[in-house]
Amino acid sequence: MMKKTTFAFAALAALAFSGTAAAQVCAGFPIRDGQGSLSALANFPSGFDQYGVEGAYNFTGPLAINGGFIYSTANGEHLNTFRAGAALDISTMMATMLPGLSICPNVRADFTSQDGTDVVEVPIGLGLGATLPLGDQSMTLTPYVIPALVWSHFNDDTLGSDSETNFGIRGGADLNFDRFFLGGTVEWVNVEGSDAVFGVRAGIKF
């Protein structure tokens, strides 16, 4: 699994270097300045299912924000996760060294709570992405990859609290048809016994 995941990210990085930059592709959202997006998603971690929605808005300038909600279910149990994030596009500053890339430091926070147990997960990373034209001007492929340090905090009313920091990586690629897009995602955190989580999503830009 790890070899396949490493190969996938290497392939995405190679594609990114051959394309042209697009604002906030580096954060995983294929939207330009002054544009927003809304999408539905489904992830497939081992042993349970996840469904959710996410939205993003790219302000005129370097800042973009995003948020979402994920519902997880297994064997009659369920969890609700709320998500918020932000990214700062520095592509113009790095254009001479890394031409054609969308580059942005970004941060995301996921909060999950159930029956006296709270979990907060905060990946802080540097995203790389690009826009690859596919013949027609209205169709593009936008791959991205985001290596990150992932800070996690666990708090339980009975067991107490604990924090840890691990390396993580997420990425994906979206196929864009003018204002519509669909694609796949993958995310992995270097925790013992952890497998990569694959997902799909589809959305609209406005």
| Average pLDDT for runs of 10 along the chain of length 206 | 39 37 79 95 91 96 96 88 96 80 95 90 97 85 97 90 96 94 96 91 97
Q: Which domain holds residue 163?
A: 2-39+57-66+84-205
Q: Is there a domain that residue 178 lies in?
A: yes
Domain count, the chain: 1
Contact predicate 81/53, CB 8 Å: no
**CB-count burial class (<10 Å; 0-12, 13-18, 19+) for 182:** middle
- pLDDT at residue 190, as a whole number: 95
Contact predicate 2/115, CB 8 Å: no
Q: Is there a domain that residue 73 lies in?
A: no
Q: Is there a domain that residue 159 lies in?
A: yes
Residue 35 sits in a domain whose CATH number is: 2.40.160
d(C-alpha 133, C-alpha 130), whole Å: 10
Helix (H, G, I), strand (E, B) or coil at 101: coil
Q: Is there a domain that residue 25 lies in?
A: yes
- pLDDT at residue 76, as a whole number: 80
- pLDDT at residue 113, as a whole number: 87
Task: Record the pTM.
Answer: 0.84
Alpha carbon 56 to its chain centroid, in Å, reads: 11
The neighbouring-strand residues paired with 149 are 124, 167
E strand or H helix at 53: strand 49-58
- pLDDT at residue 88, as a whole number: 96
**CB-count burial class (<10 Å; 0-12, 13-18, 19+) for 144:** buried
- pLDDT at residue 95, as a whole number: 74
- pLDDT at residue 23, as a whole number: 55
Q: Is there a domain that residue 48 lies in?
A: no
Q: Is there a domain that residue 111 lies in?
A: yes
Contact predicate 125/106, CB 8 Å: yes
Closest-CA residue to 123 (of 86, 89, 156): 86
Q: Is there a domain that residue 137 lies in?
A: yes
